[in-house]
A and B are shown apart, each in its own frame.
Chain A
Amino acid sequence: MSLQRVTRSTVIDAPIERVWEILRDFNSHLYWHPIIAASEIEDGLAPDQVGCVRNFRLQDGNALREQLLTLDDHKYISTYCILDSTIPLQRYVATVRLKPVTDGRRTFWHWQSTFATPPGRERELADAVGNGVYVAGFTALRAYLLGQRTNAVSAQPAPAPLRNDPLEAQAIVLTARGGAEQLKSVTTSAASPGAGEVRIRQTAVGVNYIDVYVRTGLYAGLVEVGGVPGFEAAGTVIDVGPGVTHILPGDRVAYACPPAGAYTSMRTMSAEQVLRLPDHVSEEQAAALMLKGMTAEYILFRLHRVGAGDIVLIHAAAGGLGMLAAQWAHALGAVVIGTVGSEAKARVARDYCDHVVLNQNGRFADPVLGASAGRGANLIVDGLGEVAREQNMQALAPTGHWVSVGQAAGAWQPIDPAWLGQKSVTFSRPVVFHYTSQPRQLREMATRVFDALRAGTLRPQIARYALSAAATAHLDLESRRTTGQVVLLG
Chain B
Amino acid sequence: MIKVYTSSVIDAPADAVWSRIRDFNGLPTWHPAIADSRIEQNLPSDRIGCVRNFRRRDGGTIRERLLTLSDYEYECTYAMLESPMGVENYVATLKLTPITDGNRTFTEWSAEFDCAAARERELSQSIGQGVFQGGFDALKAHFAGRR
Query: Which residues of A are at the interface with B, using a C-beta cutoff of 8 A?
Result: 7-11, 99-104, 106, 108, 110, 135, 138
Contacts and interface: CB of A to CB of B under 8 A. Distances in A.
A8 B100 contact: yes
Nearest to A100: B7
A101 B97 contact: no
16 contacts: A9-B99, A10-B100, A11-B9, A11-B101, A99-B7, A100-B5, A100-B7, A101-B7, A101-B9, A101-B106, A103-B6, A103-B7, A106-B9, A108-B7, A108-B9, A108-B106
Interface in B4-35: 5-9
B99 A103 contact: no
B99 A11 contact: yes
Interface pairs A-B: 5 shortest CB-CB: A10-B101, A103-B8, A108-B106, A8-B100, A9-B99
Nearest to A135: B101
Given A9-B98, A11-B101, A108-B99, A102 B106 contact: no
A102 B137 CA distance: 13
A476 to B, nearest CB: 56
Contact of B101 (A101, A102, A103, A138): A138
Nearest to B128: A102
A103 B97 contact: no
Contacts of A99: 7, 106, 108
B9 A9 contact: no
Given A102-B128, A104-B8, 12 more contacts: A8-B100, A11-B99, A11-B106, A99-B7, A99-B108, A101-B7, A101-B9, A102-B5, A102-B7, A103-B7, A108-B106, A138-B101
A8 B108 CA distance: 18
A106 B102 CA distance: 16
B63 to A, nearest CB: 27
Contacts of B9: 11, 101, 103-104, 106, 108
A10 B8 contact: no
Contacts of B104: 11
B78 interface: no
A22 B51 CA distance: 45
Contacts of A106: 9
B133 interface: yes
Dominant secondary structure at the B interface: strand
| Of A9, A10, A102, most B-chain CB atoms within 10 Å | A102
B136 interface: yes
Contact of A110 (B7, B97, B133): B97
Contacts, number: 50
A15 to B, nearest CB: 13
Instruction: Tell which of B8, B101, B136 has the most Cβ of chain A within 10 Å.
Output: B101
A7 B106 CA distance: 14
Nearest to A8: B100
A135 B98 CA distance: 15
B101 A9 contact: yes
Contacts of B106: 9, 11, 99, 101, 108
Contact of A9 (B5, B100, B108, B136): B100
A224 to B, nearest CB: 39
Report, as a range, how many residues of chain B touch the other chain.
10 to 19
Contacts of B97: 9, 108, 110
Contacts of B5: 100, 102
Nearest to B137: A103
Contact of B136 (A11, A100, A103, A110): A103
A8 B103 CA distance: 10
A8 B101 contact: yes
A18 B54 CA distance: 41
B128 to A, nearest CB: 8
A209 to B, nearest CB: 49
B6 to A, nearest CB: 5
A100 B109 CA distance: 12
Q: Which of B5, B9, B100, B102 has the most CB of A within 10 A?
A: B100
B100 A101 contact: no
A102 B100 contact: no
Nearest to B4: A102
A106 B107 CA distance: 13
A488 B102 CA distance: 49
Contacts of A102: 5-8, 128, 133
Nearest to A11: B9
Interface in B67-119: 97-102, 104, 106, 108
A10 B104 CA distance: 9
Contacts of B133: 102-103
A74 B5 CA distance: 14
Nearest to A110: B97
A106 B106 CA distance: 11
